[in-house]
Amino acid sequence: MHWFRRLMYGRNGMDTLANVCLIAGLVVYIVAAIFDLFWISLLFFALVIYAYFRCFSKNVYKRRQENAAFVGFFALRKKMFKERKEWRYIRCSKCKAYLRVPRGKGTLEVKCPKCGETFRVKG
Ligand SMILES: [Zn+2]
């Protein structure tokens, strides 16, 4: 076990994105095997190779950034879905940041906290 610990020292290891790639690869492999789709099975190899690339990558900073962006994307969608009855999510027309405005308050004047752009939006 000591050799494995030495091998993985300074490397990214398994993260959420690598796990999702492996699971997606497994699903793709099963679907390709059931329907006998050779070209789709190549996607399985691409996903598995990418997952192992992430796992053994020594550029931990970049891999952590990618993983945080991936996890954050789905966390935001989950939050949007949970709050869909009270809040409406819009994007800033200038910087494309997500802004949350209350529903049922009529037309509102919104100022983007990120870039300072002011625009009117229907709540
Ligand atoms: Zn903005």
Written as one string, the DSSP assignment of 12-79 is ----HHHHHHHHHHHHHHHHHHHHT-HHHHHHHHHHHHHHHHHHH-S-HHHHHHHHHHHHHHHHHHHH
For residue range 8-43, list pLDDT tens digits in order: 999 999 999 999 999 999 999 999 999 988 888 899
Cα 93 to ligand 1 centre (Å): 7
Mean pLDDT of the chain: 93
- Separation between Cα atoms, residue 41 and residue 37, nearest integer Å: 6
CA dihedral 21, 50, 7, 70 (to 10 degrees): -50
Same domain, residue pair 72 and 97: no
Does residue 73 fall inside a structural domain? yes
Which residues have a Cβ under 8 Å from the Cβ of 36 and sit 6 or more positions away?
A: none
What is the structure's pLDDT at 9? 93
Residues with CB under 5 A from ligand 1 (ion): 92, 94-95, 97, 112, 114-115, 117
Q: Which domain holds residue 31?
A: 8-82
- Separation between Cα atoms, residue 123 and residue 13, nearest integer Å: 44
Structural domains of the chain, count: 2
Cα 81 to ligand 1 centre (Å): 22
Cα 90 to ligand 1 centre (Å): 11
Does residue 43 fall inside a structural domain? yes
